[in-house]
Amino acid sequence: MASSIRTLNPATGKIEKEFQAYTSEEINHYIDDANELYQTWRFESFEERKAVMKRVANEMRKQKTRLAKLITTEMGKPLHESEIEIDYSANIIDYYADNAEGFLANAPLETEKGTAYVVSEPIGVLLGVMPWNFPFSQIARFAGPHIMAGNTVVLKTASNIPQCGIAFEEMFTASGAPKGLYKNLLMPGKDTDTIINHPKIVGVSLTGSEAAGAEVASIAGKNVKPSVLELGGSDPMIVLDDADIEKVMNGTINGRLRNAGQACTSSKRIIVQEGIYDEYLKRITAHVNGMKVGDPTQADTNMGPVSSENALEKLLEQINDSADKGATIVSGGKRIEREGFFLQPTILTDLKPGMKAYDEEVFGPVVCIWKVKDVDEAIKIANDTPYGLGASIYTENVPNAEKIARRIDSGMVYVNKQVSSSPELPFGGVKHSGYGRELSKAGILEFINKKLIMIAK
């Protein structure tokens, strides 16, 4: 029987490598290693932790070419995007190496009872369950802060990027990190609940689907373990009549078509005021029709494949269902007939509730556009979703944008730029997009014991 843990190149549709899952005995052994190291790592100085993590970041940069090729082979993004991801991942690790000590400094409190302060202490072995669409940066934003905080980490990556998961662990090995600090677990997703239930696992962070998040949250809750969930998104991008069209185009290209639209914060619902609508539709149609879709290893490729046959079939189902119910396919909408899992970059308009492209998260290169008369109509559509991850607003009237931002139900709002992530900015959502925060100071505090110490007069 073929293994579910395998490299299936989405650009060719061919299996390149398969891996045996670890046995339960092996996994228990690795968790024991992590727990044993935690007993000393929790008391290690910030300088020592920093030295280890700086070496990890430097190792990533040294091996960027190899690591980027692994990303492109396993999930299909263009090679230049994979190289950017490796640099960004190293930057995240550096950010926490440089700032963790300040973020976790003792905080004095005022009280008449005596001298009081709060200390930030780690809690133990953490499980990360990370996705395939950003194989390195998603791990970095989990491992970077929590290892610097004094926790140890075991990591389950998506089963279609096993070589990326192994390579991330190799960065720690090459950097001389102690055994048990970071361990990649080769295991099928169906066994994740067993790991969450393990008594030595004290917290879990998942980035993935809403269904997976609900399951993880349920198991963690039953075990009274903290969890962080970063789930789906259907981010609105509101374009007002006074928007700078060049900024809007850059926001669409980078916010919807990068990574073949396979990002939680991708601008999946582009809501355009009628005064600028025709110009925008003309410009984005010309851009989409001029994109080169193909081999992601080639420098002139704009977009690679989507991640899998199942992903491609779901996108086609969403497109066809919406078209059958009255949506207009302005461009694209079909599979590209070649080996691999390629979809024509697509533009849909005239979308209404009841259509799959309106009601569901569209996780791929499909530009869904709405025409609206005014801000109130735009906000109504923006909030008409169970998700609440990010949003963006394009207008030259920044005070007006700030007012609109307060009316949108999301965890993040960007003005005149696509939603993205940066080490110093908090990242997370509301509603069915999950809870908790990654990145910035907020990210390092998710798995911390804020311990009060009070010395009486």
pLDDT in tens, 177-225: 999 999 999 999 999 999 999 999 999 999 999 999 999 999 999 999 9
The three-class DSSP label of residue 173 is helix
The pLDDT, as a whole number, for residue 38 is 99
Predicted local confidence at residue 2, as pLDDT: 59
Which residues sit opposite 331 in a β-bridge?
Answer: 347
The angle subtended at Cα 176 by Cα 175 and Cα 177, nearest 5°, is 95
> How far is CA 285 from its chain centroid?
28
C-alpha of 367 from chain center: 20
pLDDT at 3: 77
Tell me the CA distances in angstroms from 403 to 105, 174, 379, 392, 429, one per residue in order. 35, 49, 11, 13, 19
**pLDDT (0 to 100) of residue 35:** 98
Contact 186, 19 (CB under 8 A): yes
Say if residue 211 is exposed, middle or buried (CB neighbours under 10 Å; 0-12, 13-18, 19+).
exposed
Locate tokens 């950010």: which residue? 95
Contact 101, 128 (CB under 8 A): no
> Which superfamily does CATH assign the domain made up of 6-230+433-456 to?
Aldehyde Dehydrogenase; Chain A, domain 1 (3.40.605.10)
E strands, 280-363, are 328-331, 346-349
Condensed to tens digits (0 to 9), the pLDDT of residues 52-94 reads 999 999 999 999 999 999 999 999 999 999 999 999 999 999 9
Sign of the CA dihedral running 70, 73, 75, 77: positive
Residues of the chain short of pLDDT 70, as ranges, are: 1-2
pTM above 0.85, yes or no: yes
Q: For residues 64 and 154, give the distance between their C-alpha atoms in angstroms, rounded to a whole number.
A: 23
Q: What is the DSSP pairing of strand 346-349 with strand 328-331?
A: antiparallel
Domains of the chain by residue range: 6-230+433-456, 235-420
Q: For residues 360 and 373, what is the distance between their CA atoms, to the nearest angstrom? A: 24
Query: Is residue 348 within 8 Å of 330, Cβ to Cβ?
Result: yes
Q: Which residues are catalytic?
A: 230, 264
Cα-to-chain-centroid distance, residue 63: 22
- Chain CA centroid to CA 195, Å: 22
CATH superfamily of 235-420: Aldehyde Dehydrogenase; Chain A, domain 2 (3.40.309.10)
